[in-house]
Amino acid sequence: MQASLKKQGFVMGLFLIVFVIGADSFIISPLLPALAQSYRISIASAALSVTIYAICYAVGSPLLGPLGDRYPKRTLVLTGVAIFFSGSLVCTLAPTAGWFNVGRAIAGLGAATTLPNVWALIGQTFRGKRLNLIMGMTMAALSLSIALGVPLGAGLAQLANWRLVFVASAGLILLVGTILYLVVPRVSTTTMRVNYGQAYRQIGHAVTAKLALLITLTWMTGFYAVYTFLGTFVTAQFHLNTGSTGMVFMVYGLSNFIASFFSGPVTTRLGKLTAVQWGGSLSILALAGLVNHHSLWVVMGSLVLLAIVQGIGVTALNTMIVNLLPAQRSTLMACNSAMLYLGLTVSSGIGGWAYARVGFSGLTLTAMGALLVAVGLTQWLRRRLN
């Protein structure tokens, strides 16, 4: 009975830390005007804190995440949580914008250390149906953070001031870190002492690993090309105010949360690769509903479908990748995180140029093409694994 409760606490602790870190990524958006006013800087200067966080995560993930293949993953998760807590604390007390950006940089490095090792720890601890279930439940925390991060940040900022957001974040991180310290097993398996070069060489030599990382890159490039400019599109197309646009994102996030949370049984029934292929194929169909449609109901229906199939497909992809190279699990998941952020960077950079020239419909067609490539790569990976 006690072992069962500890296992439940373990899963809940992982869910909570993924949610807190995910929410912290989105929670800053509504705070930018308050930050600009507080530090007497422009909105553009305040937005640098978002860029700094993303860069530190993208760079830190392949540098710090792989340490989980050399040292116990429990140690890496707890260390990452401590670094993330320090970053939130610096943001809370920051007297200048420069110090605030330092805090965001530290938080980005903490997230880069924590999340790849959370996924690796799940892959190391669970097997079969249980792995599909726990991975789905934990990844659902990211979906929930998308749905609630911006409203939480806006609500807390209106209650008092922006520093309260980081006080709450630091308090939650401290609480979750304590829970993880108590429930994460001290020694799950023997950790192989491999160096960075060895781990990356193994991934470089594994065609299946490289294919899986390419699937993540093309999939995320396509998805974020649409998601990044979705708010701009619905605001202009349907003349929505900021609150109504926020509700669109909340509907997407909650639908994605439900699909991710219950994706385990679907992945078990279909198989991981089939779930990835179906998720990608149906995502293309859902995106087709966003092309040249002037009905908000059609767009919302397409977004709900997109949220559901993304929740199932991306979770199955993560579950499949985590066990491709067990000895280099943390390194591979760190590379996978880097591919996600690279996809976001490419889509937002090229997407801004494309949006001005071909509009949202043209951008959506490009995204459909990227997802089609991801589905094709998944079929190629299936052949390599069979």
| Distance of alpha carbon 50 from alpha carbon 101, whole angstroms | 9
Amino acid occupying residue 233: F
CB neighbours (10 Å) of residue 353? 9
| Distance of alpha carbon 134 from alpha carbon 126, whole angstroms | 8
Place of tokens 């903490």: 110
Region of residue 190 (left: phi > 0; alpha: psi -120 to 50; beta: else) = beta
pLDDT by residue for the chain (386 residues), tens digit each? 555 666 778 888 889 999 988 888 777 766 777 888 889 888 778 878 877 888 888 888 888 877 877 788 888 999 999 999 999 999 999 999 999 999 999 999 999 999 988 988 888 888 888 888 999 889 888 888 877 766 666 666 566 678 888 888 899 899 999 988 888 877 644 445 556 677 788 888 899 999 999 999 999 999 988 887 887 788 778 887 656 776 787 888 889 989 999 999 999 999 999 999 999 999 999 999 888 767 888 889 999 999 999 999 999 999 999 989 888 888 899 899 888 888 877 887 777 777 778 888 888 999 999 999 999 999 999 999 88
3-class SS letters over 94-133? CCCHHHHHHHHHHHHHHHHHHHHHHHHHHHHHCCHHHHHH
Superfamily (CATH H level) for 1-385: MFS general substrate transporter like domains (1.20.1250.20)
Sign of CA dihedral 249, 20, 339, 262: negative
| Residue closest to 310 by CA, chosen among 381, 259, 362, 266 | 259
| Residue closest to 179 by CA, chosen among 16, 3, 18, 4 | 16
What one-character-per-residue DSSP string does 290-316 give? TSS---HHHHHHHHHHHHHHHHHHHHH
Contact 65, 1 (CB under 8 A): no
The reported pTM is: 0.84
